[in-house]
Structure 1
Amino acid sequence: MTSGRLEDVKVLIVDDDHDVLESMDAAFQAEGALTQVATDGNEAVRICQEEVPDLVVLDMMLPRRSGFLVLEKIKGYEDAPAVIMVTANEGKRHQAYAEALGADRYMQKPVPLAALLDAAVEIMDELDAEAGEDDDEEDDVG
């Protein structure tokens, strides 16, 4: 059995549409990710406070606390997770704001699951490469 492309990556999926949430959850699990789900912004922040995931897939329009407020809060953590923001909103101002708050990717709904998974893999690969560069820099100090 081959391992998934996101083996042991901790992913929090946040969406108030249960059908979307279930399909994303199943897709990430099929790639080996360790998933948690939240249906509102406050629940997402609470989960991140308990244990920061590696990646958050975050809907922009959420009950109780908007995706923007969640993004701002979790990107303030010292070990902030990577974030893919997904939204049905077509406005460029929203994308610019999300990127200014630290979103690693901004994807418009409906997002094909394959594209979402590819984006997640790319982000994790980029973070692994950055971590490797940091390790190399530490080795050079002496």
Structure 2
Amino acid sequence: MSKILIVDDEPNILLSLEYLFKKEGFQVFIARDGEEALGIVEEDLPELVILDIMMPKVDGYEVCKYIRQKSDAVKVVFLTAKSKQKDIEKGLGLGADLYLTKPFGNKDLVSKVKGLLD
């Protein structure tokens, strides 16, 4: 069972994604900000992280940098409202495997996550 960490400061998104991925058979961890995410990554490295960019305390870019320093094996998916080309380039430049913008389709997100983990 693959471990996924979902990081977002919006409770509705966290709850819906947690439900969605648990239903698909994943072991799901959630973090409400970047600082909480760093603690989880430090304790128990997940196979994949779904990461918002704009969050309090530590932003998604910093979390991605930290994950990349620890491991190249962890897949990182940015899921964010930041849709400008410069944001996408920055996210991918920091080592994200995928950059998706909100709003998103659940089926599309699940299939892309499964594709990264196969």
Identify whether the pair has TM-score above 0.5, normalized to the shorter chain.
yes
Matched residue count: 118
Unaligned runs of 5+ in 2: none
Q: Which residue of 1 aligns with 2:74?
A: 81
Moved more, 73-82 or 27-36: 73-82
User: Root-mean-square deviation (CA), in Å?
Assistant: 0.9
Kindly indicate whether structure 1 or structure 2 has the higher relative contact order, using CA contacts under 8 Å at least 6 residues apart.
Answer: 2
Contact in 2 for aligned 1:85/1:107 (Cα 8 Å): yes
Contact in 2 for aligned 1:42/1:65 (Cα 8 Å): yes
C-alpha distance in 1 between matches for 2:101 and 2:34:
19
Q: Which residue of 1 aligns with 2:95?
A: 102
- Which one-letter code corresponds to 1:37 in the other structure? I
Rg larger for: 1
Question: Identity of aligned pairs, percent?
Answer: 36
Deviation at 1:78, TM superposition (A): 3.3
C-alpha distance in 2 between matches for 1:46 and 1:94:
25
TM-score by length of 2: 0.96
TM-score by length of 1: 0.81
C-alpha distance in 2 between matches for 1:120 and 1:39:
20
Q: Which residue of 2 aligns with 1:52?
A: 45
Matched residue of 1:76: which SS? helix
Listed as ranges, the matches of 1:1-142 within 5 Å are 8-78=1-71, 80-125=73-118
C-alpha distance in 1 between matches for 2:71 and 2:60:
19
C-alpha distance in 2 between matches for 1:57 and 1:106:
10
Unaligned runs of 5+ in 1: 1-7, 126-142
Deviation at 1:80, TM superposition (A): 4.3
C-alpha distance in 1 between matches for 2:78 and 2:116:
13
Q: Deviations 1:42-91 (Å, cap 9, x if unpaired)?
A: 00011000010000000011110010011001111135410110111121
C-alpha distance in 1 between matches for 2:57 and 2:95:
21
Deviation at 1:23, TM superposition (A): 0.3
Structure 1 outlier segments of 4+, above 2 Å? none
- Which one-letter code corresponds to 1:99 in the other structure? L
- Which one-letter code corresponds to 1:102 in the other structure? G
- Which one-letter code corresponds to 1:95 in the other structure? I
Matched residue of 1:37: which SS? strand
